[in-house]
Structure 1
Amino acid sequence: MTQSKTVHIISHTHWDREWYLPYEKHHVLLIKLMDTLIQTLRQDDGYRSFHLDGQTIILEDYLQIRPEMKETLEQLIRSGRIHIGPWYILQDEFLTSSEANVRNLLIGHRDAKTYGVISKLGYFPDSFGNMGQAPQLLRQADIENAVFGRGVKPTGFNNEVSEVQAYESPYSEMFWEAPDGSKVLGILFANWYSNGNEIPVNPEAASKYWDQKLVEAARYASTPHWLFMNGCDHQPVQTDLTDAISTAEKLYPDIRFIHSNFEDYLSDVNRTIPSDLSIIRGELRSQHTDGWSTLVNTASSRVYIKQKNQEGQTLLEKVAEPLAAFAYQAGCPYPHHLFTYAWKTLMQNHPHDSICGCSVDEVHAEMMTRFEKSKHVAESIAADSLTWLAERVDTSVFSGYGKEAVPFLLTNTTGWERSGTVTVQLELNRIYFRDGRDFRDMRQDLKDKSLDDYVLVDVDGKPIPCGLEDMGIHFGYDLPDDKFRQPYFARAVRVTFEAANVPALGYKTYALTRDASLKLLLSQTSLIVGTYAMENEYLSVQVADDGSLTVTEKLEGTVYKGLGVYENTGDIGNEYMYRQACGDTAVTTRGVPASIRIQEDTPFRASIEIVHELEIPASAEDLLDTERKELVWFTQRKSARSDTKITLKITTVVSLDKNGKRVDIASTFNNHAKDHRLRMLFPTGLDAATHYADSIFEVPERINTTTAEWKNPSNCQHQQAFVMVAGARQGLTIANRGLNEYEIVREDSGQTIAITLLRAVGELGDWGYFPTPEAQCIGEHTVHLSVIPYAVPVETNEVDPRVHGSGAIQAAHQYQIPWSVKQTEVHPGELPPIYAFGSWEGQAMVFSAMKVSEETGDMITRWYNISAQERALKIELPEKFHHAYKSDIMERRLDRLQQEGSERLSVSVRPAEIVTISFEQL
């Protein structure tokens, strides 16, 4: 008899490395699971294989405790009994950067390769939404499929599928297409990744089990091959599965039951898929749901975690990697081993229950240590690279200023030419302890040193307005490669100035010199133009009595009023979801007088300080504690806010650079309230139906309204560096550092951008009661945002805001990245005092990476096209490199590129394409 249906049973465990238990407690359980799995595989030939959750870090964690099992593990992997990869960890896709998603795939593949076999499966079992460019990333890694559990179905508590037929696809099989057109076969866990869990051996129980399960699978399957996932979160191995399958075969002789794996299952599905499969495109964010279980508010849980992650990612991919690549071009070995360690340490914080801030307090306390560990390694790499470069830069141009000249290298690791205010700390007159002088004499000599007549100059000898702050005596030390540590005292000064036109992927050299005549040439202009008002060539800023801002973009004359108002509401939700307290009315600073003063007034920058004292409820009322303990689901809670009030003092500093096209905002507050959310509001005055947000290798256009199924009063979204609302001839972009949640709110004057600064809650949520007092985020916080208005030039014909607003997008990206500075001495060198290690141009192209491939030694550079049109990318070849290749995210050379002349490349880039160019070293 021909068997028309095949049940593919795939054994697995979804291993959240840390979540409702701290890491080490989950670690102990992992060792038990792996020991049991290996024993089962050895003893039961019928137990064919096990899918190890798509993340190679499980192997590291197991072998850390069981190193003696490595050979056995390798044998089981090579023989196909255990399936590993392709990721290093199962990340949250929207809260980790574009390059972090690539490193995750790259390192996962490399680690799996050492075992001989890589599972070519786009595995996203529990991501809280899926990035739109995932199909393109997967195809560049030779992966032609994706399996996922969220994003395209209506789900409720414990991921139960709703009967509402609002699917983007009527089947659990579909095609998923990225914005560039890359397509993969998508498999939705329509009945979750536990639909084949704990299969009964007993015939009576098995009959009841399968009668229900087979109907559920048939409801959504488009082929006769039905997927049953034998496992769940931290699920132990089902050691009697072979017997359970034997029972099922006897009960249902017309159905074929096999202990399968994804490779075999997908092969069978591909042979039998119908011609009418739906195509789903771009981001999968559960918009066709009631909106209560999207888990989007994990983007604002424990904001301090997100800020640390933004700092760590940026330091690695946008500072340390480019600097090491610069030094590599100057002959320095590239520290692949250190980068791998730093990335792995950082990525241990990227699993969806970690970076999302939705775990118990112990998990997030350990994350902070990992953030620091990764940061320290990245800082060390950056410092070593800068030292290598500074020693080879010719600073002899400053020799005419005498022995007191203090040159320093200012490095721009962004992909665009850069200007902006910089603060650097320099040392004057080092005195080493090895000189044997008395400490009192050393200190006195340094204290007696006059700081009069110091002036900052560029390589042309032009004096530059700067602020000079005496930092007093500074202790420091050298760590030479060939001798013992060398401690010293020095006089430290802090220099603040506006750097102009530092080349992209390059540096400029400056020097602090002593020359009274040059100091006389400096102008003493001011950006302060009135009472609490400041202005430059591009923007004017007026601070109102309530601390709100009116910003005028001077090219088009567009005025944005009421920017920077604070909004506070109660939150009776949990780490996963925001739920406003019952009967709650938002408390705002609108119309409430603030204390305002001029904080900084220099020729290069003006800053205004604004202080609000906002009276807000101290917490939710006591009922919330009872509702938490009794597991009242957050949508059904009745708690209001407490009548007890406390003062939330918020200090805001608003800054404008002389040549800046953005208004920077730093906000500091000491939170002592619980169960609340703090946001900053930016009314755009623009009546737009859509908006744009920075995401993973794209700037997707998102609608401002919700779908018919949406019931949640809130419609928060994920962002990376910025969100933008655009009109016909103007737009407003709000950039951020580590503030990953925003909402577009419709008001009478148009669309308002609301950025979440803090969300304070007291429990994990989900399947039980797990108190998380540290998620209330008690203590001091500082957040950073930037207001970037833009106007569309009259001569432009572009209609895509991502193109005509590209200057604002560039500014938003640069806002993420710190300058890099290295003090040096006056000396000759082979590198000129101003230099770029690569240059390029391309409208609507975003620069993403510069690093060195460990496999080939090639210089790896990457861009992506944020527009819907084909674009030309033109690149100047870096020195000491020849032969350029179009590559992929796995850093493999593909097509050799033809050059224009001897050094120039021109590459055609498809709409939304991620393009990697590798350069072969001479």
Structure 2
Amino acid sequence: MDSLLDTLETDPGYRSFFLDGQTIILDDYLEVRPENRSRLEKLIREGRIGIGPWYILQDAFLTSGEANVRNLQIGHEEAGRWGPVSKIGYFPDTFGLFGQTPQLMRQAGIDNALFGRGVKPTGFNNEVGESSAYESSFSELVWEGPDGSRVLGILFANWYSNGNEVPTDEEQARAYWERKLADAGRYASTPHLLFMNGCDHQPIQTDLAEAIRVAGAVEPDVEFVHSNFPDYLDAVRAAADGSALSVVRGELRSQLTDGWGTLVNTASSRVYLKQLNAAGQSVLERSAEPLAAYARLVGKDYPQHLLAYAWKLLLQNHPHDSICGCSVDEVHREMVTRFDKSRHVAETIVADSAAFVAEAVDTSVFGSYGADALPFVVFNPSGWKRSGTISVELDAARIYFRDGVGFGEMNRRMKELDLSGRALVGADGRTLACKVEDLGLQFGYDLPDDAFRQPYQCRRVRLTFQADAVPALGHAAYAWVRSDARPETAPDIAADARTLDNGVLRVEVAEDGSFALTDRRTGQTFPGLGIYEDSGDIGNEYMFMAPKGVEPLTTRGVPAAVSVVENGPGRASLEIVHEWAVPASADETLDREQREIVYYPQRQAGRSAKLVPLRLRTVLSLEQGSGRLDIVSSFDNQARDHRVRLLFPTGLQADTHTADSIFEAAVRSTEPAPEWENPSNAQHQQAFADVSGQAANGSAAGLTVANVGLCEYEVLRDGRNTIAVTLLRSTGELGDWGYFPTPEAQCIGPHEARLALVPHGGDLVASGAFAEAYQLQTPWTAVQTGVHVGKLAAVGSPLAWEGESIAFSAFKASPVTGDLVVRLYNLKREPASLRLLAPAGASSAYKSGVLEQETADALELRDGRLELAVGPAEIVTIGLR
């Protein structure tokens, strides 16, 4: 950066520099060089340094839709403080691109996308491969999203460093340009050839102006221009023959390649990072923002500054080599700290917002149960009405240190507190079945805004019960009260030590721990689910590679211990335990091949003969009335160089499947292209993967496998369309252009994974299976409160919406206008209708874009209601004044 500023200021021939499409480097640089702020600002305002539109250069598939939106919003906001925002859709090294990118760009006022991956093969050291079947005939193309949005696509066909280190020596320059012009001209559809003078880890070329002068001398028929992206794109548009350009539709995932260089297995590198990211994204976009928006409607200031801080911390973990888990160990240790910091800020916003709203909820109905009634409010911040089993901790009584009671007396009073004769009631007066756990003495403290901390000793209990039909984005009040009333008893869900049955789903566990899942609504049974697979992995952080000729191990036929670990109220759980053993590592050949930098597809290493224990604990949980089976898998990994997956054979006939992606349920072919050579065909997912098709009896059926932070799956070509979900991948080197050991990528230690199965009648969207998968991502929130009157009903919600095929994404305040915004998107490729009941007090509404700026595109509010036609796969943002 020092060199860049000096060169721009002293060499007028060095016209401009594009600062890699992001703004975070400005913060990083000024931490070290605060005295250079005015120099930097002057060059940005003069257009010599281009910044934005992103905050960071993120991975596309491993970050949520809302994270991609925040990345754009923060990038625009920060770039706008310095000068003009570069309206360049810059994805130079992103490991493939999601299909909704064109729509996202268009809604942000960007009509282009520049990228290096997703269309052509790239191999070791990012070398560009050759194929006869590129998605595009040229490096220029038209890219169309599922909604029909189009942008001009520019593929860095010779990589985004094809103009590096231009010679100033005439003889060297002549050879250099003879080769480079031929390489670029081979792919270009216009006379305008793009050369990128820079790359990651690349210092700027301070003598570039002289190198360009020499280039003109050795190639007099070519005009060499030190250009910028806006001018280059204008020139391409003016010269391009639109009819000659290929129209590439949807996702860019390098499918018409040999499959060795897609970098898709970064989705399973260091799975713990993906799980931490899922938790961080969830608490921000699915809890903190909607609860803060609700609290604002009740009168609390919206904490935009804290949310921006938490989002920036989270986004700092989203660069592709970071969230992809393909860096050295030190990078990823720092990420864990950032995840924690961001999440803790968000959790504080959740707690403060929920407590504020709870104080406005009318709980006076519980006053009739006596002075020691203990009300609490349960919040459902998801976008759909929801029932489920939740646990809430209540302080049955407190004694504050300020009361002057000695510790001995304080403890005696708490221990002797009578907790008997109580029941859980809803605001409607119904008595609910409830499991009560006495947590005993607990220390706690309040942190008042206007006083020193207030410590106390309390007697705490945990209540577990079934919350029923809590409104979307809303709340319901309950109380633990003095009462002799007894709840209606529900039938046990655990019929015996191997069976769960809630009247909707039935689960039967076999001797080897696999299980059959029957959907009573359709009669469809999915047998043989839940088999574990362990494969050797001699690849690296970027790509999985199984040892040649070595079959994976599975738990099929391995005896398992099965027992009931929970049975009501509202939920029952079976525990399945396998005492298993797997190879300790790869054999000694792998170490030699890594040190000799043998490209991973050419490695010959096998698996070690030594075995280490791998104890697998699987808990299956079924809730009353639920159509979703929850799964928690846990194990302590002591093996290296391997991959662990859970297998869910669907037994359905289907050529395609569906995976949750960014603002999209992406339909993908299960069979790879003819060019594909890699035995593995793993793919990215967000919340779920689904196979829907024809069952053996001829009926339509589907199975959705939902997950939390497990970003890699594969639909196996095994005749059963088995959905395989990666729980762990252990590797020992970074990979790519050298040998960088990464022992912490072996992920030694305890691991836990959360999944769920949602069987349905064959239509992922119409059945609501997708909503069940999204709700798995969204934790319940509960907060204790007092008995008081309030302006909010005991059960209610700030807004309501309806729309078949519509998915909820965000309820928050715009950082630009301060208006409340609601974002939803259409999962189907056909028009839909959205109906929304706005919050009380909303005076008007308008249709916005992902930057959440106020527009003149007014929407008609009638008695607080609006109806809106939603286009196929459209992302809709509604602003509410």
Is TM > 0.5 for Structure 1 vs Structure 2?
A: yes
| Aligned: 1:804 with 2:770 | no
Tell me which residue corresponds to 1:819.
780
Q: Which residue of 1 aligns with 2:675?
A: 709
| Equivalent position SS for 1:407 | strand
Pair 1:737-2:708 in alignment = yes
Match of 1:530? 496
Letter in 1 for 2:724: A
Deviation at 1:659, TM superposition (A): 1.5
Query: Shift of residue 802 of structure 1?
Result: 4.0
Q: Using the alignment, how far apart are the partners of 2:66 and 2:516 within structure 1?
A: 36
Map of 2:130 onto structure 1: 163
1:390-425 Cα offsets, whole Å, 9 max, x none, are 111111110011122111110011111000010111
- Does residue 182 in structure 1 map to residue 182 in structure 2? no
Aligned mates of 2:604, 2:120 — CA distance in 1: 28
Render the CA deviation track for 1:683-715: whole Å, top value 9, x for unaligned.
001011000000000001100001011000000
Deviations 1:760-797 (A, max 9, x none): 000000101110000000000000000110125xxxxx
Query: Where does residue 634 of structure 1 map in the other structure?
Result: 600
CA distance in 1, matches of 2:608, 2:80: 57
Partner of 1:371: 339
Q: Residue 547 of structure 1: which of 496, 513, 533 is its match?
A: 513
Alignment of structure 1 residues 121-160 onto 2, 5 Å:
121-160=88-127
TM (norm. structure 1) is 0.94
Q: How does 1:206-221 map to 2 (within 5 A)?
A: 206-221=173-188
Aligned amino acid, residue 651 of structure 2 = G
Query: How do 1:679-828 and structure 2 match up within 5 A?
Result: 679-728=645-694, 729-748=700-719, 750-791=720-761, 801-805=763-767, 807-828=768-789
Query: Does the residue aligned with 1:38 lie in a helix, a strand or coil?
Result: helix
Question: Relative to structure 1, is the Cα distance of residues 216 and 538 closer, same or farther in structure 2, using a 3 angstrom cutoff?
Answer: same
How far the C-alpha of 1:163 sits from its partner, in A, is 3.0
1:304 paired residue number: 272
| Partner Cα separation in structure 2 for residue 845 and residue 917 of structure 1 | 14
Quick one: distance in 1 between partners of 2:418 and 2:591?
62
Give the distance between the partners of 1:77 and 1:524, measured in 2 at CA. 67
Supply the AA of the counterpart residue of 2:766: H
Q: Does 1:428 align with 2:396?
A: yes
Q: Which residue of 1 aligns with 2:220?
A: 253
Give yes or no for contact 1:883–1:896 (8 Å, CA) kept in 2.
Answer: no
Q: CA–CA distance in 2 between the matches of 1:624 and 1:153?
A: 29
Q: CA deviation at 1:95?
A: 0.1
Quote the residue 1:568 is aligned against.
534
Determine the C-alpha separation between the residues in 2 that align with 1:827 and 1:734.
43
* 3-state SS, counterpart of residue 907 of structure 1: strand
1:109 and 2:70 matched = no
Query: Partners in 1 of 2:141 and 2:247 — Cα distance?
Result: 6
Q: Which residues in structure 2 correspond to 1:559-638 (within 5 Å)?
A: 559-638=525-604
CA deviation after TM superposition for structure 1 residue 522, in Å: 3.8
1:692 and 1:336 map into 2 onto residues whose CA distance is 35
Contact 1:153 1:166 in 2 (8 A): no
Letter of the 1:338 partner, please give it: L
Residues 343-366 of structure 1 deviation map (CA, whole Å, 9 limit, x = unaligned)? 000000000000000000000000
Does residue 64 (structure 1) correspond to residue 31 (structure 2)? The answer is yes
Q: Which residue of 1 aligns with 2:816?
A: 855
CA deviation map 1:400-457 (0-9, x unaligned): 1112211111001111100001011111111000011110111111111232222111
How far apart, in 2, do the equivalents of 1:822 and 1:531 lie?
Answer: 35
Do structure 1's residue 232 and structure 2's residue 194 form an aligned pair? Answer: no
Shift of 1:116: 1.8
Structure 1: any 5+ residue segments left out of the alignment? 1-33, 793-800
Partner Cα separation in structure 1 for residue 275 and residue 129 of structure 2: 36
CA contact (8 A) 2:435 2:569 kept: no
Q: Which amino acid aligns with 1:392?
A: A
Equivalent residue letter for 1:129: G
Q: Which structure 2 residues correspond to residues 834-845 of structure 1 after superposition, within 5 A?
A: 834-845=795-806
Deviation at 1:746?
2.2
- For the 8 Å contact 2:670–2:715, the answer to whether it is kept is yes
State the alpha-carbon separation in 2 of the partners of residues 900 and 263 from structure 1: 40
In structure 2, the partner of 1:4 is: none
Does residue 880 (structure 1) correspond to residue 841 (structure 2)? The answer is: yes
Q: Is the 8 A contact 2:644 2:729 kept in 1?
A: yes
Is the CA contact 1:469–1:493 (under 8 Å) kept in the aligned structure 2? Answer: yes
Shift, 1:161, TM fit: 2.5
1:244-393 to structure 2, matched below 5 A, reads 244-274=211-241, 275-393=243-361
- Does residue 645 of the first structure (1) align with residue 607 of the second (2)? no
Give CA deviations for 1:173-203 in whole Å, capped at 9, x if unaligned.
0000000000000000000011100000000
What is the aligned partner in structure 1 of residue 621 from structure 2?
A: 655
Counterpart contact for 1:420–1:659, Cα < 8 Å: no
In the TM superposition, residue 170 of structure 1 has moved relative to its aligned partner by 1.2
Distance (whole Å) between structure 2 residues aligned to residue 803 and residue 499 of structure 1: 25
SS in 2 for 1:304: helix
Structure 2: distance between partners of 1:762 and 1:746:
29
Q: Does 1:94 align with 2:61?
A: yes
The answer to whether the Cα contact below 8 Å between 1:683 and 1:753 also exists between their aligned partners in 2 is yes
Matches of 1:199 and 1:788, distance apart in 2? 57
Distance 1:524 1:536, change over 3 A: closer
Report the CA distance between 1:901 and its aligned residue.
Answer: 3.4
Deviations 1:221-271 (A, max 9, x none): 000100000011121010111111110111111110011110111110010
Provide the rounded CA distance (Å) in 2 between the counterparts of 1:766 and 1:454: 63
SS of equivalent to 1:699: strand
1:455, 1:463 within 8 Å by CA — same for their partners in 2? yes
CA distance in 1, matches of 2:63, 2:40: 30
Residue 893 of structure 1 corresponds to which residue in structure 2?
Answer: 854
Check if 1:172 corresponds to 2:119.
Answer: no
Looking at structure 2, the residues matched to 856 and 194 of structure 1 have their Cα atoms a distance apart, in angstroms, of 40
Matched AA of 1:110:
E
Question: Percent identity among equivalent residues?
Answer: 57
Q: Deviations over 1:285-323 (max 9, x none)?
A: 000010000000000000000000000001000100000
Please say which of residues 452-461 and 186-195 is displaced more in the overlay: 452-461
TM-score, structure 2 normalization = 0.98
Deviations 1:628-674 (A, max 9, x none): 11111111111100000111001111000012111100011000000
Please state if 1:501 is matched with 2:469: yes
CA distance in 2, matches of 1:65, 1:603: 58
Compute the displacement of 1:803 (Å).
3.0
Secondary structure at the counterpart of residue 148 of structure 2: coil
> For the Cα contact (< 8 Å) 1:726–1:732, is it kept in 2?
yes
Question: Aligned partners of 1:802 and 1:658: how far apart in 2?
Answer: 22
Post-superposition CA distance 1:596-622 (Å, at most 9, x none): 111111131110000001121010011
CA positional deviation for 1:531 = 4.0
Query: What amino acid sits opposite 1:535 in the alignment?
Result: D
User: What is the deviation of 1:524?
Assistant: 5.7
Q: Any conservation in 1 of the 2:62–2:324 contact (CA below 8 Å)?
A: yes
User: In the aligned structure 1, how far is the partner of 2:510 from the partner of 2:656?
Assistant: 29
Match of 1:649, SS state, is strand
Q: Which residue in the other structure is 1:31 paired with?
A: none
Quote how far apart the aligned CAs of 1:898 are: 4.2
Aligned-residue RMSD, C-alpha:
1.0
Equivalents in 2 of 1:426, 1:298: separation in Å?
Answer: 42
| C-alpha contact 1:802 1:844 (8 A) present in aligned 2 | no
The amino acid of 2:140's aligned partner reads E
Three-state SS of the structure 1 residue aligned to 2:634 is strand
**Counterpart residue identity of residue 734, structure 1:** V
Tell me if the contact between 2:295 and 2:357 (Cα under 8 Å) persists in the aligned partners: yes
Uncovered stretches (5+) of structure 2, i.e. residues with no partner:
695-699
Tell me how far apart the structure 2 counterparts of residues 803 and 719 of structure 1 sit (CA, whole Å).
17
- Offset of 1:832 from its aligned partner? 1.3
Alignment check: 8 A CA contact 2:534 2:582 kept: yes
Assess if the C-alpha contact under 8 Å between 1:525 and 1:603 holds in 2.
no
Cα distance per residue 1:700-750 (max 9 Å; x no partner): 1100001011000000000000000002522100000000000000224x2
